[in-house]
Structure 1
Amino acid sequence: MTSAVLSTPAPPVTAAPSARRAVRRWLFVVAALVVAMVAVGGATRLTGSGLSITEWKPVTGAVPPLSAAAWEQEFAKYRATPQYQLLNKGMSLSEFQVIYGWEWGHRFLGRLLGLAFFLPLVWFWWTGRLDRRLGLGLLGLGLLGGLQGAVGWIMVASGLQPGMTAVAPIKLMLHLTLASLIYAGLVWFATGLDREADERIPARLRVTSAALAGLVLLQIALGGLVAGSKAGLTYNTWPLMDGALIPPLSGLFAVTPWIENFVDNVALVQFNHRLVAYLLLAVALLHLIDARRTAPGTRAERRAGVMLGLVAAQAVLGITTLLLAVPLWAGLAHQVAAMLVIGMAVVHARLGTLSRA
């Protein structure tokens, strides 16, 4: 009997509910840090602070200027940028310190996020609390986070080029989309831990829940283009845009070659963001109707209702932001709310994959 017990392999640590809960809490904490990073990044963009630090120093840059001489040195570097020369000429040192603080805070959060992710990842993996599949998936997210840091600097560098006063819109879109993907991945893995099978729901609901998550991600990417091109500062009316529900094609495709309109033409950039918002709202409504018809009384139906509510609230917030010409509070609220919507969409889709066949 003793020999049989000794020869029986011990269950993996991941089988312990307490271990799964610990990993799950850690992933949600890291996801919350990503949301904070997005919020501070949004404030950095809206306050025009993103080009205040002109160098990428991943290690030594963690320490801000600590003396008057160090501050003057950083200010001198900023005064050499096109943004200062063309937009902020005559800015005082105290005004520079404000925008520097936003950008430094954004980068500091990025460093903190990296530590909060990789140190526990090594510990959980070393102590056997992660199975191979989950560990490799999280390692992939970590590599995506490293890529995100590089993209962030490439984005900043684009705004330091001659004649530029802001970062390139497509690079801002990529930066925001990568952050959203990382956040979605963290929520996906965390939601799949310590969960029992959900109720039996039709396969169609699982497909449409995944489609909703994809549409939200697309809308966030388009929102990044709107932010990068400052398209929200134009056509500040709704439901009409330039006096019509559908602006004339001559205005939507005024740039040559035509493909560049999708990035450089603020009319088409904003119009695309509006169109996908309408599509997302329609899909969320149809999804709820379908859930009430095919899976009444289930958690899936309740989640579908929450999704519709969040999408509708985000649409109202987006319209408000547009009508007010993007004040700081509204722009930040709209960006953070987008993270809440994609988070709920991922939770809904993930739990759908766990439903019983």
Structure 2
Amino acid sequence: MLEYHEIDPFLSKCVRCGNCKAVFGLFEPSCPAGERFRFEGFYSSGKIWIARGLRDGVLDWEDPELVRKLFACTLCANCTQQCPMTVRDRIIEVFEALRAEAVRRNAGPLPGHKKLKDSVIQYRNPWMQPRRRRLHSLKDLGVKILGESAGARVPVLYFVGCTAALDPSLEPIVTGTVVLLQKAQVDFGVLGEEEICCGSVMLRIGERDLARDLARRLQRQIARLGVETVVTSCAGCYKTLTQDYPHLAPLSAQVVHASEFVLELLVRGRIEFDHSNPVRVTYHDPCHLGRHSGVYDPPRKLLEAVPGMRLIEMARSRENSWCCGAGGGVRSAFPEWALETSRTRVAEAEQTGADALVTACPFCLQNLAVGIQASGSRIRAYDLTALLAEKTRPKE
């Protein structure tokens, strides 16, 4: 995590070669912002030069159109995969540092982000939902609630995340993950209404002080409970807890994504999959899980392990995957663009001939589902854990 005063050495590394604009070898677009706005300032190379202009005093932080360009990015990191220069490893950190500086100067975030911040302050989640709503998806599942006053101690914490917990349409993610853990006889619990936002959304829109406060609260909570492993089915939470928290508030527990944890359960013989009716699936790599965290294989290995299930890759997959369009605060500030990007991904999924589009991120699932509906597509969107839970039985 770079601070604004630390980005200068990286600004001279971009030579504006243009490689960030397309997937190498495929010559397909790689940048959702550039594809939408078709102007240099929206591509990674353009944003780097904007940063140089701000540093040199040629550009002004008070220019609202300039600030809009800084926030018009899903932070998908596809540019980092196409860039041949050494700046590639720090591009996203540079962009996030620019957003944080915009907030520090009261030039950001964008108006569409204000509700997210206000909600986190009031409800400890970005979706304007009361904290008791987190219990709704856990009802009747027989899960241990690890409230601070409950006294229960378990080795594994299932960190649900705000999006899956508070959107009724995403309840299958929560129930699916719980069912998988229960069938494998994992001793685990959840925080219930005492779970707070991990701060991912706040970090992406530049609200670092608020994110740091959330991180320290969660750090104390996890340390007090004494859990050894934190499992999350949210790609955004996973990226934040594993990559951002070491800079904000290091956790005392190991953090793993649900796909990694369930794959380990499968390898150890704790669960097995029933035979599925023949079904063709394609997998969408969430940016935070794939490019940001390097987790590509576990979801695919799980899908391929289900008898009768055939995995078909999209043209742009793994590190070259097209973004769903929702991340980086884009869906809140640029909803039409987020939908357009989702529809592009849905069309790409349809071209595989798959019956189902599977992903491992609640935010991706939300936006892809909207894209499917808007496109009138017949493909069905599934969360990985929800789909696997339907196919899983305890190992006898």
TM-score (norm 2): 0.27
The structure in which a higher percent of residues are helix is: 1
The structure in which a higher percent of residues are strand is: 2
Give 1 or 2 for the bigger CA radius of gyration. 1
Greater RCO (CA < 8 Å, at least 6 residues apart): 1
